[in-house]
Structure 1
Amino acid sequence: MNTVTPALYFTRISHNRREPIRHGFEYRSYSWYFDIDNPPQLPPPLRPLSYFRACDHLDGPGADLRTRVGALLRAHDMDSAGPITVLMNARALGYVFDPVTFFWCREPGGALRCVIAEVHNTYGERHAYVLHPDERDRAEVGKRFHVSPFNSIEGRYLLRVPEPADTLSIRIALLRDRQPPFHATVTGYRLPVTPRTVLRAHLRAPLAPWLTTARIRRHGLALWARGLPVSARHPDRTSRRTTQ
């Protein structure tokens, strides 16, 4: 397969819960999509606003993303010989926060091997789910990681994770017994990576990682003020703390 040309996606991200308190929000952002062997190369003046470090993702000593993805795939009895693309956020002025990073891992002939969904929380922890979507890009996996202080670790995720094309449409639902599902979506459209589009992205969501973290905490405080109970964490069931 040919190497994927790096792209930007201007996105809209939504979260919606119905019980025990109805709460929803939507905001604009952007994400980077590229082949892990061909990351975006920005001119020097723009690099402090958008750059990538392998240590921000997955576990292991590897100094590049392919090594880290390969270690995870080998742990699941798979190899990483084929193309691997990723949808992620970049660092901005030394900080990154990426609620969910997606890796599409393919066999050398192009068939989809698996999708890795790596979830990060605001405690600085991360956890990678290895998904095997069906022909409709749907996958289901048990929740194993504490993301929000207002959602317990119980339940299952139902995801629809098609690889980005001209548009982006990822959907996640958290399913729990006797409760309405929690829904999150990421939708967007594709743009080429140029100095102009990178600047447009930063005008659309200035210092996006910082803004995303602040937004999550603001909504968390609002939910707490409305009386939503905090769920106990299970540190033994979460993954390693990241360095930010």
Structure 2
Amino acid sequence: MSAGAALYLCTVTHVRTVPSRYALRHRTYMWLTDPDAPPRLPRLLRPLARFEARDHFGGTRPTIRAGLEAFLAARGVDLDGGPVTMLAHARVLGHVFNPLTLYWCRRRDGSPLCVVAEVHNTYGERHCYLLRPDDAHRATVDKEFYVSPFFPVDGAYRMRLPEPDRRLDVTVHLERSEQRPFTATLRGERRPATVRALLRAALHHPWSTLAVSAGIRLHGIRLYLRGLPVQPRPRQLPQEGVK
């Protein structure tokens, strides 16, 4: 495998406070890797972890890195060969669903440049946010993408996005009308990306990305049965650089 790759055994939590409190917790695992050098597994294990350009950005570029560079270039940002670290789910047994993929981008000298947050919804749509975190790893951006059917496309996201090291600790708040009706956290422990670690993770969380998307739909049904009104989904316009 790639020497710089790592696995994170994660706990994802979602907490809604409006109009009533509802919380969910889900365990999974994610990869931290260089999109230029994704892990290369033994042939028999490759179905457990594949990273493909079609699963990110517009899906039309030859590599994930090329898709990222096109997105940034459309916004006047030049990576100029600087390193990138990607946190994502891999394609497992032919299926992938990445609610949130994060890219920490650095200049050639190693100083922080920006973070890109790539969001997928369960309708097969994707949207990317360009973020400029402060020294406390915090960034705020207007919400521009329909994710949950129970929230309209308004408000803003306030995120805390420290680059993972021994631990992964990401927080996303949705802020609307001076309230925080939704908070998501992603926390995990780093493991070396060895064959043994991958087999253990895959055994404990079989078909992990399918479980994530199925779990989101199941909780959506529960919220609907509780009487939460569904917000109309606007037409998603293509983003510049994500084609």
> With structure 2 as the length reference, what TM-score do the two structures score?
0.94
1:18 matched to 2:24? The reply is: no
> Which segments of 5 or more consecutive residues in structure 2 lack a partner in the other structure?
none
Q: Secondary structure at the match of 2:101?
A: strand
Q: Which amino acid aligns with 1:35?
A: D
Matches within 5 A, 1:175-214: 175-177=175-177, 179-214=179-214
Deviations 1:164-185 (A, max 9, x none): 1000000000000154431000
Q: Which position in structure 2 is the counterpart of 1:65? A: 64
Equivalent AA in structure 2 for residue 76 of structure 1: R
Structure-to-structure mapping, 1:120-131, within 5 angstroms:
120-131=120-131
Does the alignment pair 1:89 with 2:89?
A: yes
- TM-aligned CA distance change 1:79 to 1:126, over 3 Å: same
Show the 5 A alignment for 1:1-244. 5-59=4-58, 61-80=60-79, 81-177=81-177, 179-237=179-237
CA contact (8 A) 2:53 2:59 kept: no
- Please tell me whether the aligned partners of residues 144 and 237 of structure 1 are also in contact (alpha carbons under 8 angstroms): no
- Over 3 Å counting, the alpha-carbon distance change for 1:86 and 1:162 in structure 2 is same
What are the superposed Cα offsets for residues 208-240 of structure 1, whole Å, 9 maximum, x if unpaired? 111011100110000000100101111145769
Cα distance in structure 1, aligned partners of 2:202 and 2:239:
31
- Larger deviation, residues 155-164 vs 47-56: 47-56
Matching residue's letter, 2:4: T
Gaps of 5+ in 1: none
Matched residue pairs, number? 239
Amino acid at match of 1:212: V
CA offset digits 1:147-199 (Å, max 9, x no partner): 01011111100000011100000000000015443100000010111111001
CA–CA distance in 2 between the matches of 1:72 and 1:121?
Answer: 19
Q: In structure 1, what is the Cα distance between the partners aligned to 2:4 and 2:158?
A: 29
Compared CA separation, residues 25 and 173, structure 1 to 2 (3 A): same
Question: Displacement, 1:35?
Answer: 1.2
Give the distance between the partners of 1:198 and 1:178, measured in 2 at CA: 42
Does the 8 Å contact 1:125/1:239 carry over to 2?
no
- The two structures, once aligned, show a CA RMSD in angstroms of 1.7
Contact 1:11 1:30 survives alignment (8 Å)? yes
Change (3 A) 1:109 1:48: same
Q: TM-score, normalised by structure 1?
A: 0.94
C-alpha separation between the residues in 1 aligned to 2:239 and 2:111?
A: 29
Structure 1's 79 and 178: CA in aligned 2 closer, same or farther, altered over 3 A?
closer
Q: In the aligned structure 2, how far is the partner of 1:237 from the partner of 1:33? A: 30
Q: Which has the larger displacement, 230-239 or 178-187?
A: 230-239
The percentage of aligned residue pairs carrying the same residue is: 45
**2: CA distance between counterparts of 1:110 and 1:19?**
41
